[in-house]
Amino acid sequence: MTVLIPLERGRAVGRLYLTSFEKLEIGHLLEIEPEIAKELEDLRKEVTEKNWKLDYSDHLAMLSGELHLNNIEYQLMSWSLFKSNYSMMIDIGTVLPVVKEIKLSKLIYNIQTDKMTHDNISIDLVRKEITHVNDIFWNWEEGWEKDPEKLLEASETLKVLRWLIEEKGYSLRGEPDVEKYRKIRESLESSGKITKSAIDYNLANLDDSK
């Protein structure tokens, strides 16, 4: 049985607004995002001074544009006779979308101190967000403080997190991550293996960074 669809075929007039995510050349993207470029430059300088490592990981650009539909033929097509899901086929000919805006959607870098050997911390410079935390720190378990290697890794990770949150204005992804961070910090502090002066800071700074 054929199902009748209102306006199944016809001609389209107007503007179709488009958004896509693509991996464009990073140098060009930084040229059109001077504030992010400056943030990256400052991070590189400070990380170098601390004898840490800052390595590129990933990036993505968001493109926004328009497709002008000037009396162009279209057809609605059903994916299935049993579901009300449809697609639209448009014959645009030689008409291509006009790009209106290009901007960075994400720019991920990894940070490690000179003593971190197992994993790193990842940050998104666009959102100023900490996107990944060293596994030994993030999955910290009671008793690990007796392992000097794990204790050092966790201590160094905490050092980087404090710098990112307190000095650079980066935030964790949400309240669950903030609470988890607090608990791990307190666990490390209560172990007595890491001195309070090494990890003590104002929790208000952490709240303000969210």
Alpha helices in the chain (DSSP H): 26-31, 34-49, 135-138, 148-162, 175-190, 196-199, 203-208
For 20, the domain range is 13-208
pLDDT digits (tens, 9 = 90+) for 54-71: 999 999 999 999 999 999
Q: Is residue 174 part of a domain?
A: yes
In-domain check, residue 3: no
> How many structural domains compose the chain?
1
Residue 2 lies in a domain: no
**Is position 38 within any domain?**
yes
The model's pLDDT over 172-207, given as tens digits with 9 standing for 90+, comes to: 987 788 898 988 888 877 766 554 433 443 333 444
Average pLDDT, the chain: 86
pLDDT of the residue at 4:
62
Q: Within a domain: residue 7? A: no
Exposed (0-12), middle (13-18) or buried (19+): which is 141, by Cβ within 10 Å?
exposed
More confident of the two residues 45 and 150:
45
Is residue 5 domain-resident?
A: no
Looking at residue 103, its pLDDT comes to: 97
User: Between these two residues, 92 and 17, which has the higher pLDDT value?
Assistant: 17
74 and 9 in contact (C-beta within 8 Å)?
yes
- Nearest Cα to 111, choosing from 134, 137, 135? 134
Is position 199 within any domain? Answer: yes
In a domain, 1, yes or no: no
Q: How far is CA 173 from the centre of its chain?
A: 9
Q: What is the pTM of this model?
A: 0.81
Taking a C-beta distance cutoff of 8 angstroms, is the pair 38, 104 a contact? no
Amino acid 119: pLDDT: 86
Under the banding of pLDDT at 50, 70 and 90, the label for residue 145 is confident
Q: How many helices (H) and strands (E) does the chain have?
A: 7, 6
